[in-house]
Amino acid sequence: MKSESKTKSKKITIGMQASIVGIIVFAALFAGCIGDNDVKTLTVAGSTTVLPVNQECARLMMDTNPGLKISVSGGGSGHGIKAVGSGEINIGAASRDIKSKEMEAYPDLKAVGIGKDSVAIVVNPTNPIDGLTMDEASKIFAGEIKNWKEVGGEDSKIRVITREDGSGTREVFEKYVLKPSEREISGEASVKPSNGEVRATVHTDGTSIGYLSLGYVDPSIKALKIDGVEATVENVLAGSYPIVRTLYLVTKGEPDKLESEFIDFVLSDRGQSVVEDMGYISVR
């Protein structure tokens, strides 16, 4: 009898344990479902020029909205436009105009200008050269001028740094610097995947020359004058600096409520302050 009683007791204990485990698992799954439903998610990707603006605006929005999760990444303007057009992300970021072939592939794309920017040609701070003519810059990036002494610098080979195909910064640079003289970037140029990579490379290589968003210029590099004009926000606004572009946020069709909230925040006074803090030009 005692043996039977012990056996029944064990069965009851095991059964209760299984029930408790089952309840805990169900509760966890149920809580997880509730949590997932409460969290609103938004994905933004594309231009590395617009990236710091999107990152800071996303942070500010999430700070005041605990149930909001915004994922922000780079990848370049081409990636952002393709990803939003194909429905992989909610908002694409671009630092150039949408191409006609992109509109043909994704006819529902809607672009909103959220700031303006320029592209600066930069060298290492130790380089004695302070400026170039537009023609000299074009020839250097095309590989026709190969030594700094040809433009009044030291006798050393020029290392050209460029961005990857699909980069909005590269598109704009080519449009203003190379295409007017029907030149192309040299095949010997070192290709970097972001503005930050270009800046880091030029900072560590005294013979290099590159180009990047005006918002990425800092004391670690030196922006060259072009035809005697400095690359500054003031000169861009005055129309005297020759390279200017619009920064965009792009959606597939009209933006939904959450997408609109993010775009509206970037266009708000607070968002436009972020644009200016990052070294760009407000559209207000």
Residue 243 CA, chain-centre distance (Å), reads: 19
d(CA 207, CA 160): 9
What mean pLDDT comes out for the span 4-16?
Answer: 45
Per-residue pLDDT band for 11 (boundaries 50, 70, 90) equals: very low
Confidence category of residue 27, pLDDT binned at 50, 70, 90? very low
Q: Taking 90 as the threshold, does the pLDDT of residue 77 lie above it?
A: yes
Helices (H), the chain: 2-38, 51-64, 77-85, 100-105, 134-142, 168-173, 195-204, 233-238, 257-267, 269-277
pLDDT band of 37, cuts 50, 70, 90: low
Domain range summary for the chain, segments of one domain joined by +: 39-115+247-277, 119-238
User: Would you say 246 and 116 are in contact if contact means Cβ atoms under 8 Å apart?
Assistant: yes
Homologous superfamily of 39-115+247-277 in CATH?
Answer: Periplasmic binding protein-like II (3.40.190.10)
Is 39-115+247-277's fold the same as 119-238's?
yes
Angle at 97 between CA 92 and CA 101, to 5 degrees: 85
C-alpha pair distances (Å), 4 with each of 1, 7, 9, 11, 48: 5, 5, 9, 11, 73
Q: How far apart are CA 161 and CA 115, in angstroms?
A: 26
Per CATH, domain 119-238 is 3.30.110.30: no
pTM of the model: 0.79
Task: Give CA–CA dist 81/249, Å, rounded.
Answer: 9
If you average pLDDT over residues 76-85, what whole number do you get? 97
Per-residue DSSP letter, 89: S
Give the residue-averaged pLDDT of 45-59. Answer: 97
Interval 241-276: pLDDT, tens: 999 999 999 999 999 999 999 999 999 999 999 999
